[in-house]
Amino acid sequence: MDTNISYDFTISNLGVCTIPSPINVSFFTPESKRILFNIYLDQYNDLRAPNGLPLSIEVAGPREKIFFDPSKTKAAIVTCGGLCPGINDVIRTIVMELHHRYGVPNIIGIRYGFQGLIPKFRHPIVELTPDYVKEINRIGGSILSSSRGRQDIGEMINALERMNINLLFCVGGDGTMRATECITAEITRRGLNIGVIGIPKTIDNDLNLIQKTFGFDTAISESVKAIQCAHVEARGAPNGIGLVKIMGRQSGHIAAGAALAQNDVNFVLIPEVPFHLDGDKGFLKAVELRLRERSHCVILVAEGAGQEHLLREGQPMETDASGNPRLLDIGVFLKASMEEYFKKIDMEVNLKYIDPSYMIRSVPANASDSMYCGALGQYAVHAGMAGKTGMLVGLMNDEYVHIPLKLIRSGNRVDPGGNIWMRVLEATGQPPSMMNE
């Protein structure tokens, strides 16, 4: 936790809430209910709000009074960025909560991400009714589809005005949340009463401040299946090697979690921990020693690992339409490097390479993620109907809270000196000496 960052957890409101909530619950969440941001005693005095009080965050939940009149409210949902298990669960919950609990009659889906708000793309909108979404949680992907890339903020706000949108729910990752922040700022500048609520989505689980993003649990479960197959293949031939590449551009959380969930992995390579490739302390030598000792080996590599071995000196890293690094293929590189290495030392190996990335992100959410997505969707609706804006709903310290969009960035990494990586090293037995210091 960086004590040098200025944290401001103030949540913006469109106005005073005067309408009694129509939902039937046993209790409402008061505005005054907050949780402490910092739970570590050694940092307690360093993290204070401007008024000198300990930093705290607003707790999510239904409010007794709401801002929007449900019968006159029109809501829109948009999904952006890469696909991820659970998107349809979020869409379904938002629609069901708005329609059945608040009585909002008009809910639309924006097709193909923010492109759907730009007239030149001519993407049709979708009328989202309970009947339309009732079984979408059983399929993967997004029924609204998605896209990457920046769009003109002014044009998007014009579209929201033309369609008389009161509430916009944006499902996406770091880039989407930055765009959503810009949309909120332009809405505020124009003095419009349009609420904007974010639902954080990144399968890599790499957003700062957020305890867990949806799709992560499913990704680990599906990765474990690939590891099991790699292990069977590795044990099925002399000096068998099972190499599995999974998602993780800048964060190795999926790789670390999958390795701990399926204790058959011998090497885990992640973006946060550079590694030596050659030499007596390098990765290739370590694999050789493992094979000579046990005759088989399973390797799990995150897609963002080892990029330093693929880029030529001085070669810049390209980016995609969303500004994400355009990675070179570490899986193919490691496969070729190992085949070349063992050929040189005249050692027979049987290497099987498995890349299940698109299969993992395209499956439906498992039960754990479905339950999590349901909570995120419900709390997002409660916040939106209460006139909250420029914020997202997230899990922090086991509580669902409201966090300003301006504070959310991609920055949650596996700490090479932390407990998770220590447990990975213990579980795999891979030599720390092959890691660059």
Sign of CA dihedral 302, 357, 326, 336: positive
* Alpha helix segments (H runs only) across 35-173: 87-96, 130-133, 153-162
Residue 53: per-residue pLDDT: 76
Residue pair 413/272 in contact (Cβ under 8 Å)? The answer is yes
- Residue 326: pLDDT band by 50, 70, 90 thresholds? confident
User: Is 46's pLDDT higher than 90?
Assistant: no
| pLDDT score for 154 | 96
Question: Is 102 a residue whose pLDDT tops 90?
Answer: yes
CA distance 75 to 307: 42
Average pLDDT of the chain to the nearest whole number:
93
Q: Which residues are catalytic?
A: 204
Please check whether residue 66 is in contact with residue 17, taking contact to mean a CB–CB distance below 8 angstroms.
yes
8, burial (CB in 10 Å: exposed 0-12, middle 13-18, buried 19+): exposed
pLDDT, average across residues 133-147: 95
Q: Residue 49: its pLDDT value, please?
A: 72
**367-385 vs 87-96: helix crossing angle, rounded to 10:** 40
What is the reported pLDDT for 433?
Answer: 81
Predicted local distance difference test score (pLDDT) of residue 322 = 59
User: Is 100's pLDDT higher than 90?
Assistant: yes
Against a cut of 0.75, is the pTM above it? yes
The pLDDT value given to residue 367: 96
**Does the structure show a pLDDT above 80 at 340?**
yes
pLDDT category of residue 410 using cuts at 50, 70 and 90: confident
The whole-angstrom separation of Cα 63 and Cα 31 is: 8
The yes-or-no verdict on residue 320 having pLDDT over 90 is: no
- Spatial separation of the C-alpha atoms in residues 143 and 121, rounded to whole Å: 18
Digit-coded pLDDT (tens) for 110-125: 999 999 999 999 999 9
pLDDT band at 324 (very low <50, low <70, confident <90, very high): low
- Distance in angstroms (rounded) separating the CA atoms of residues 131 and 108: 13
- What letter would DSSP give residue 410? B
Please check the confidence at residue 313 and state whether its pLDDT lies above 80. no
Mean pLDDT, residues 28-43: 85
User: Cα(37)–Cα(396) distance, rounded to whole angstroms?
Assistant: 8
Nearest residue to 140 (alpha-carbon basis) of 222, 225, 230, 78: 222
**Complete domains list, the chain, with CATH:** 12-213+365-396 (3.40.50.450), 216-309+318-362+416-434 (3.40.50.460)
Higher pLDDT, 167 or 173: 167
Look up residue 163 and give its two tokens.
């369609």
pLDDT band for position 342 (50/70/90)? very high
Is it the case that residue 169 has pLDDT exceeding 80? yes
The predicted pLDDT at position 148 comes to 86
pLDDT at 315 over 80: no
DSSP for 292-327, please give it: HHHSEEEEEEETTTTHHHHSPTTPPPPB-TTS-B--
d(CA 326, CA 317): 7
Q: How far apart are CA 29 and CA 62, in angstroms?
A: 6
User: Tell me: the pLDDT tens digits for 171-205?
Assistant: 999 889 999 999 999 999 999 999 999 999 999 99
Angle 283-294/330-344 helices, nearest 10 degrees? 60
6-30 pLDDT, tens digit per residue, is: 688 999 999 999 999 999 988 999 9
- d(Cα 115, Cα 97) in Å, to the nearest integer? 26
pLDDT value at 358 more than 60: yes
Identify the pLDDT of residue 334: 97
pLDDT at residue 234 tops 80: yes
- For residues 2 and 79, the model is more confident at 79
CA distance 281 to 167: 56
